[in-house]
Amino acid sequence: MTKNYLKLQFYSLPRNQAFARDAVAAFCLELNPSLSDLSDVKTAVSEAVTNCTVHAYKGNLGLVTIECEIEENSLHIKVSDTGKGIADINQAIQPFYTSAPSDERSGMGFTIMQTFMDEFKVNSIQGEGTVVYMSKSFKAEVENA
Partner 1 sequence: MVVTGYTKNKILYISLSGEMDECASQAARAKCDKLIEDNLSVSKIVINLSDVAFMDSTGIGFLIGRYKKAAKLSIPLYVDKPNFAADKILNLSGIYSLIPKAE
Binding site for partner 1 (CB under 8 A): 14-15, 17-18, 21, 35-36, 39-40, 42-43, 46-47, 50, 53-54, 103-109, 111-112, 115
Establish whether 72 is a catalytic residue. no
Catalytic entry in 21, 47, 69, 141: 47
Catalytic entry in 16, 67, 73, 105: 105
116-121: long-range contacts at Cβ-Cβ below 8 A with a sequence spacing of 24 or more? 116/40, 116/41, 116/43, 116/44, 117/40, 117/41, 117/44, 117/77
Q: How far is the CB of 98 from partner 1 (least distance, A)?
A: 8
Catalytic entry in 51, 69, 128, 143: 51
Establish whether 32 is a catalytic residue. no
Between CA 119 and CA 4 the distance in angstroms is 19
C-beta closer to partner 1: residue 14 or 126? 14
Q: What is the CA radius of gyration of the chain?
A: 15
Between CA 121 and CA 100 the distance in angstroms is 22
Establish whether 15 is a catalytic residue. no
H or E element that contains 99: none
Q: How far is the CB of 2 from partner 1 (least distance, A)?
A: 26
Which residues are marked as active site?
A: 47, 51, 105
